Amino acid sequence: MSILIKNGRVIDPDTRKDGRYDILIEEDKIVKVDQEIKEEAEEVIDAEGCYVMPGLIDLHVHLRDPGQTYKETVETGAAAAAHGGFTTVLAMPNTKPVTDDRLNIRYVHNKAKAMAPIHVLQAGAITKGQKGKELADIESMVAEGAPAISEDGKSVMDSLLCKEAMKIAAECGVPVMAHCEDIDLVDGGVANDDESIRKQGLRGISNAVEDIIAVRDVMLAGETGAHLHLCHCSTYGSVEIVKQAKKQDIHVTAEVCPHHFTLTSKDVDASDANYKMNPPLRTKKDVEALKRGLRDDIMDVIATDHAPHSEEEKRRSFTAAPFGIVGLETAVPLTISELVEKEYLTPMQMAEKMSYNPAKILGLDKGSLAEGKIADVVIIDPNEEYVIDKNTFASKGRNTPFHGRTVRGKVKVTICDGKVVYKDK
């Protein structure tokens, strides 16, 4: 199969190309990038007015498989990813059973190879059953292909155990992806700890819940030489913590989710649990700090924390409903609408944070449109305006606070391994 992409604005952080180029794909490889390609191809895609970027890579998704497939499966989550422009995703291990051994890693990878239109990678848990008492067999999971370890959904509260895990991860050459949450400080909180939340009768989660563990994990990374990746950062303090850690040459990277740079705690409606996520929506001060952190390249990655739940679960009271929203199919328009159009990020920075940097963090030979590279490509119309409709999602999850929101930036085509896996109708 050969595909010729013509007339698009190629934005490639690897080669630093940013301009009008054609791209020729043959089989699963990019074979030519030039300002005008005259060779014929079996399929020609006119990308006039569109960004042509390396396929997006999401470092943080929950596919709920195995164990909670009524919420999502490897197949439906991967379809949602393709719909959102992602060609690689990293699944978190808080499945049922927890992905804490090589057999569960193998299960997800084999299922993805058989059923997913994109690349699905599975992270391994740090502790057995994510109970925080005994380390999982990290070495065997890495040998099976896990590109990272994480206790996502919670923190490893035992500092000595966390330090041991970082030592092993450093030896194995994989990052430790940290969900920073001091569980004792949460104290039943369900939203940000501020006046607007308290007025609605909800218990708060303070910034310190996140910041205390972020500082601890940075210090442990400094001692062990591990690559620490801070997940779903939500506070102004986390931006400063990452900034100072990098000044000290501690190997730390960090991600921000679109909901955390788009909404504030004042948007929370206590009657709608689609506004309930962990970490919670914070204040305007936090949002502005996160946006500046992305702008100034302190924060390295935009990730979704895609967390599907059933409609029945999200119809419960705000206190009783589970944390989390879906994000794979809204990340591109929110990033363009909130960051690119408002000039916090250039399109090149968007490609860096949604493809190139995630690839480097996981040690993948991706995030590039250079000749000879695997043909993972996304074509995005940055100017198309539309209304987000949860009923069009490929994900099983419809739990989003963005339903009905007018945005700009639409994924038109997703190509993975040289095959068109999604095309906007």
Count the residues in the chain: 425
Q: What kind and span of H or E run contains 102? A: helix 102-115
Which amino acid makes up residue 254?
A: A
**Is residue 216 marked as binding?**
no
**Is residue 90 marked as binding?**
no
Selected catalytic residue, list 58, 286, 300, 305: 305
Pick from 382, 399, 381, 318: which is nearest to 72 by CA?
399
Pick from 240, 242, 254, 250: which is nearest to 358 by CA?
254
**Is residue 204 marked as binding?**
no
Report whether the peptide linkage leading into residue 66 is cis, meaning its omega lies within 30 degrees of zero.
yes
What single string gives the DSSP state of each residue in 327-351? -TTTHHHHHIIIIITTTSS-HHHHH
**Is residue 309 marked as binding?**
yes
**Is residue 94 marked as binding?**
yes
Q: Is 217 among the catalytic positions? A: no
Find the largest Cα–Cα distance for the chain.
65
Give the integer Cα–Cα distance in Å for 170 and 253. 15
Coil, strand or helix at 38: coil
User: At residue 332, what are phi and psi to the nearest 5 degrees?
Assistant: -65, -50
Q: Which residues of 216-254 are buried (b: 16+ CB within 10 A; e: fewer)?
A: bbbebbbebebbbbbbbbbbbbbbebbeebbeeebbbbb
**Is residue 7 marked as binding?**
no
**Is residue 323 marked as binding?**
yes
- In contact, 82 and 420? CB cutoff 8 Å: no
**Is residue 63 marked as binding?**
yes
**Is residue 60 marked as binding?**
yes
**Is residue 232 marked as binding?**
yes
**Is residue 324 marked as binding?**
yes
Coil, strand or helix at 22: strand
Coil, strand or helix at 148: coil
Active-site annotation, residues: 305
Which residues are annotated binding-site positions for substrate? 62-64, 94, 278, 309, 323-324
Which residues are annotated binding-site positions? 60, 62-64, 94, 152, 179, 232, 278, 305, 309, 323-324
Which residues are annotated binding-site positions for Zn(2+)? 60, 62, 152, 179, 232, 305
